[in-house]
Amino acid sequence: MAPLQIHHRSARHRVPPDCTPRLRLKPKADSTGYLDGAWWPRSGKLTAELPDLLAVLSVRLGTVQRVVYDRASWSHVPRQLMLGDRTVPLDAYSFELGNTMYVYGSAGHVIVLRVITANTDRDTAHSALMTMVARDPAAPPVAQPVPRVATRSTE
């Protein structure tokens, strides 16, 4: 399948997204737990939602190198997404937790997101977003392995 081409401004220039993602991230210094934040997309179309999400996450990650998404949460996703002049690989994975997404950036940085389905009612989704970033000092971190995904050469 040919990669979907979306002609957005390159995320490496840190241009604001067209539509601000509904996203909550833990503070950068908070390394407790498995998840780094939560994201509530506006639709069930991953390729329509990713450009704005990746533009925001590039501030923390640098250039986004790869997205690994939960196979059961999205349908009809191409293997690549064209963002400006670069290609971002999109890899499906069967996550044990479900509704999970890994966004890999430059220098080996990764952000793990809990994805709240687009059709979730507003109050429930807002509560889930806020709960994800609420710090509970008594809660022990959850140890979960990061899936190993073979890297592709970009040269």
User: How much is the pLDDT for 19?
Assistant: 75
Whether 80 contacts 4, CB under 8 Å: yes
User: How much is the pLDDT for 47?
Assistant: 93
92 falls in which pLDDT band (50, 70, 90)? very high
Cα 151-85-40 angle, rounded to 5 deg: 70
Q: Which residue has the higher pLDDT, 31 or 82?
A: 82
- Mean pLDDT value across residues 110-121: 94
Cα 17-19-22 angle, rounded to 5 deg: 100
User: How much is the pLDDT for 77?
Assistant: 93
Rounded CA separation 118/22 (Å): 10
Residue 68, pLDDT > 90, answer yes
- Mean pLDDT value across residues 36-55: 94
What's the token pair of residue 14? 């840190």
User: How much is the pLDDT for 17?
Assistant: 61
Q: What digits encode the pLDDT tens for the residues 97-115?
A: 788 999 999 988 999 999 9
